[in-house]
Amino acid sequence: MPDTTTTAPGPDPFRVPDENLDDLASSLAKTMAEVKQHGVLLDRLGSEPTPAPQPTDDAPATAAGSESAAGPTSVFIVALGGEAYAVELTALTAWVNHLLLPIYGREISTTRPWCTRWQEHPEAVARLHALWLAWQQFTDAEAGLPGPSTWHRDHLDQTLVHLRAPDGPFAACTTSPARPNHRVLATPAPDQLGLTA
């Protein structure tokens, strides 16, 4: 006996109008960048720090904040070396490229220089890393509702003023997008400052 039951047709497929595809692609790209950034942060947060050595009866305890034989006790990038520095710089670069610059980058000009090779400027690395550490603290839910505003006022604005000043670390770098330039300015040597022993 032939089957006489009919199946009900399924819902019509969902179609996105062509004029909305660009918006959808842009939103998807932003979401993918955020997911990647969150992955970097989770990897960083998930890595277990090396426990500080505990003093024994025959070994004196080190002063608080001093560097132990196991390495620096600070999370600040200038206190890191080797692979720890490289890992932190990679995470910082992702944050700068995917969050900071797309939102706060502004136009490059003679009064606001920038350097695409900012990772080679020690002052820029130090200031951007400090800014990123503050961002992690002040955008956390525990910072409360005024956290982001505090970050903008106390950290972002000051950092950008110093980094992008005409006499800042990028003073010899790009001042026009049409003329990319990079040069790390020399810093005073200790003997020039009378600091040698």
pLDDT single digits (tens) 14-64: 666 777 667 766 766 667 766 666 666 566 555 544 444 444 444 434 333
How high is the pLDDT of residue 48? 47
Highest mean pLDDT of the ranges 31-35, 72-76, 112-116: 112-116
The yes-or-no verdict on residue 102 having pLDDT over 80 is yes
Higher pLDDT, 57 or 188: 188
Mean local confidence (pLDDT), 137-150: 93
Q: Give the residue extent of every domain in the chain.
A: 70-186
Higher pLDDT, 164 or 9: 164
Cα 42 to the center of its chain, rounded Å? 14
The yes-or-no verdict on residue 141 having pLDDT over 60 is yes
Higher pLDDT, 117 or 3: 117
How high is the pLDDT of residue 64? 39
DSSP 117: T
The yes-or-no verdict on residue 186 having pLDDT over 90 is no
Higher pLDDT, 134 or 74: 134
How high is the pLDDT of residue 122? 94
Give the separation between CA 154 and CA 101, rounded to whole angstroms.
18
Higher pLDDT, 61 or 151: 151
**What are the respective helix, strand and coil percentages of the chain, to the nearest 5?**
50, 5, 45
Helix (H) or strand (E) holding 80: none
Radius of gyration over every alpha carbon of the chain, rounded to an integer in angstroms? 25
